[in-house]
Amino acid sequence: MKFVVDAGSDEVLGAALLCVDSQELINTVALVMRTGVTATELRDAIYTHPSSTEAFNEVLGVLA
């Protein structure tokens, strides 16, 4: 899982998802990109456990 994030605006510009359930995760990423949710907001969201969406917290955690 890899994200392209604009350093100035924190906008998610794109993502590459080569993981379990990527066919479902891409819908969340597309929604984020369409609605202007920032990478920080995506990172800080609380996701159901266990689920593949929890990886957003870890992958985007390097933004902190």
Report the catalytic residues.
49
Query: Identity (one letter) of the amino acid at 32?
Result: V
Question: Which domains are present in the chain?
Answer: 2-63 (3.30.390.30)
What does DSSP assign to residue 7? Answer: T
Instruction: Kindly report, residue by residue over 7-54, the tens digit of the pLDDT.
Output: 999 999 999 999 989 999 999 999 999 999 999 999 999 999 999 999
- Residue 62: the pLDDT is 76
Query: Model's pTM, two decimal places?
Result: 0.87
